[in-house]
Structure 1
């Protein structure tokens, strides 16, 4: 397998775009090569098979959606209260908007995981790892609430983001900020 990290990142970025635009059925090595603007056969030199491409793409999506350390440091200057949790969730919404393709690709991977047991196992491990990291971070930073608070916020935000990205007119395009405020007011002690 080829080992150029920059090329691997470009290929996984291209895979994310293909997933977001065409769905899992459109994700082929050829489609990734075309989207990345690389010679035919390049993706197959970096990923042993489609399952590995899907797994690496899922991991890369989570990396792309990770908070900017500078923004996070600025947010964490605030007191450890509900207002800070609200600000962190608004930052999450901002990041999802900035990388809409990444989040839509993650949704596509979740759907594909319902049909592919190997992908389900890999994606479950990746998402569980991210959730546990979020719980540990929340508790480690002394934010209000407990593990259950973080899990309920995770579930509420997942639903809200899915609704907003797929059918934004159901709740109204401008409703998202107020809904995030309401979620934290009702969930975070």
Structure 2
């Protein structure tokens, strides 16, 4: 069992993904806020200093796509302190094509409007999931500033998060 760091709020999932691109082994630190609107003041801190942001909607539920327009795209624009941050718009659940409520063309148009990469995937079948991380990472590696400052930005973000939620967690597997 992988336990999150002790000061990460309970509603945020924290993962480390190892990826090899061009013979280089890279470690991605992933903070999944899972669309927790009610914790917006805290989750907004995760945008600060981010090198990449993945915005996900469910292709079978139009309201998740609408929320991206109304809430998340605006939040990223408001809280992302990194002007070179790479964003990818990801339509999930393409394995349920017969239930589709958002067309691929609509997703692509939104991505272009917000200068995002675009991909559709299925978390269930794993179609394009690895490709999403690969595409995002390749774009991040094209930004010279990220290569120079790399981990310093992530460390600063973790320190800032500790200031937002200074109380240690109790219970769970890591207490």
**Radius of gyration: which is bigger?**
1
Bigger RCO of structures 1 and 2 (CA < 8 A, at least 6 apart):
2
Task: Determine which structure has the larger strand proportion and give its number.
Answer: 2
TM-score (normalizing by structure 1):
0.27
Task: Determine which structure has the larger helix proportion and give its number.
Answer: 1
TM-score (normalizing by structure 2):
0.29
